């Protein structure tokens, strides 16, 4: 029961700190009157042309997501290679290098299968 009291106390102190910080920021914030210039979207000190709500092609977002996906997956290859090297050098006992090689091969196979699928779907074509 004492641990619940400590958790509640910590949560209340955190809520007071966050609420106090937000309240103090609202109290001390510099305010300007709402003018037409202030309500315009910021476009590098230039007069805006057209509306702020324009449509982007979904392909740009998919391309960016695929870049992040393959970038992160390629970053996972470095720890896998380090573990494979440690197994080959017999620093990790009880695991064969064939097993680690097969697991790494499956990971790379899945990575390239996803890349080929995206390529065949035409997602990687930039227009």
- The tens place of each residue's pLDDT in the chain, 127 residues long, gives 788 999 999 999 999 999 999 999 999 988 777 777 666 666 566 666 777 677 777 878 888 888 888 888 888 888 888 888 888 887 777 778 788 888 888 988 988 898 898 889 888 777 7
Domain boundaries, the chain: 58-121
Determine the Cα–Cα distance for residues 88 and 43; give it in Å rounded to an integer. Answer: 56
Residue 37: strand, helix, or coil: coil
* Under 8 Å between Cβ of 97 and 87: yes
C-alpha distances in angstroms, 70 versus 7, 13, 20, 115, 117? Answer: 40, 42, 42, 8, 13
DSSP line for 50-90:
S-S-----HHHHHHHHHHHHHHHHHHHHHHHHHHHHHHHTT
> What is the pLDDT, as a whole number, of residue 15?
97
Task: Say if pTM beats, i.e. exceeds, 0.85.
Answer: no
> What is the pLDDT, as a whole number, of residue 18?
96
> What is the pLDDT, as a whole number, of residue 41?
65
> What is the pLDDT, as a whole number, of residue 23?
95
């Amino acid at each position: 029961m004492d641990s619940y009291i400590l958790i509640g106390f910590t949560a209340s102190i955190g809520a007071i700190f966050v609420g106090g910080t937000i309240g103090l920021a609202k109290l001390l914030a510099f305010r300007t009157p709402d003018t037409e210039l202030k309500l315009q979207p910021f476009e590098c000190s230039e007069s805006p042309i057209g509306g702020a709500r324009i449509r982007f092609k979904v392909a740009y977002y998919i391309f960016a997501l695929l870049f992040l996906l393959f970038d992160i997956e390629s970053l996972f290859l470095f720890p896998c290679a380090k573990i494979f090297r440690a197994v080959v050098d017999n620093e990790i006992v009880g695991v064969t290098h064939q097993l680690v090689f097969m697991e790494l091969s499956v990971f790379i196979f899945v990575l390239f299968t996803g890349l080929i699928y995206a390529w065949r779907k035409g997602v990687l074509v930039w227009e």
